[in-house]
Amino acid sequence: MELKVYNISGEDTGRTVALSEAIFGIEPNDHAIYLDVKQFLANQRQGTHKSKERGEVEGSTRKIKRQKGTGTARAGSIKSPVFRGGGRVFGPRPRNYAFKLNKKLKQLARKSILTYKMKDEQLKIYEDFNFEVPSTKTLVSINDKLKINDRKTLIVTLDVNRNIYLSSRNLQNIDVVPVSELTTYTIARASNVFISEKSLEALNAMFN
């Protein structure tokens, strides 16, 4: 399994790279993808939601009316949930939404989504490049040449590339991620995945 290598002008360099069948040619596991994406989104939740219950709201503790003879139900506190301004019954409390997944399952999920991108022809390999200074204008021109401006694009770099990251930070449809931080979710939400040659080598080493 081979793919052409493109330069940043969107032109074919005439070279090809071999892709590992163990990463880009497996039988995809949809449930593994679902679990990995679910865990990623769950880990993003702060879980700081909180509402006050009857013991936490402000209010007098005196008995608001006599118990008998009123013709209505007994009421012992103005902080009761049945009154306006009272505490909430079974309201949300702070909690941690994170859950654990096995390492092999997460690897299977990433391999599965990469296989899908390969089958759908949404995966391309590009020559390594760098910017001397951050330049959003230059990155926009590269996207124009690649004709991908209207679709979500993921650019995978070898390391944290500050100049490329700063160039893309103000662009809504472009994400720049180092290969070490590649997740199933970031791959799945992109319509185009561009992986640098050195990132591909690191990807092979990471899964092997």
Q: 151-165 pLDDT, tens per residue?
A: 788 989 888 878 888
Distances (CA, A) of 23 to 35, 104, 127, 204: 19, 13, 20, 8
105 and 156 share one domain: yes
Given 38, 62, 91, the domain boundary residue is: 91
In total, how many domains does the chain have?
2
Q: How far apart are CA 40 and CA 109, in angstroms?
A: 12
Report pLDDT for 148: 65
Same domain, 171 and 158: yes
**Rounded CA separation 79/94 (Å):** 22
Domain shared by 158 and 108, yes or no: yes
- Pair 105, 122 in one domain: yes
Q: Which domain holds residue 74?
A: 51-91
Give, for all 208 residues of the chain, the pLDDT tens digit.
788 888 877 777 888 888 888 999 899 999 999 999 999 999 999 999 999 999 999 988 888 889 899 999 988 899 999 999 999 999 999 999 999 999 999 999 999 999 999 999 889 888 888 787 888 888 888 777 776 667 788 989 888 878 888 888 888 888 888 998 999 999 999 998 989 888 888 888 888 7
What span, in angstroms and rounded, lies between the C-alpha atoms of 68 and 56? Answer: 28
Q: Name the domain boundary from 24, 59, 91.
A: 91
Q: What is the CATH number of the domain that holds 192?
A: 3.40.1370.10
The pLDDT, as a whole number, for residue 40 is 96
Which stretches within 48-174 are classed as H helix? 103-119, 136-146, 162-168
Q: What is the pTM of this model?
A: 0.81
Dist CA 157 CA 143 (whole Å) = 16
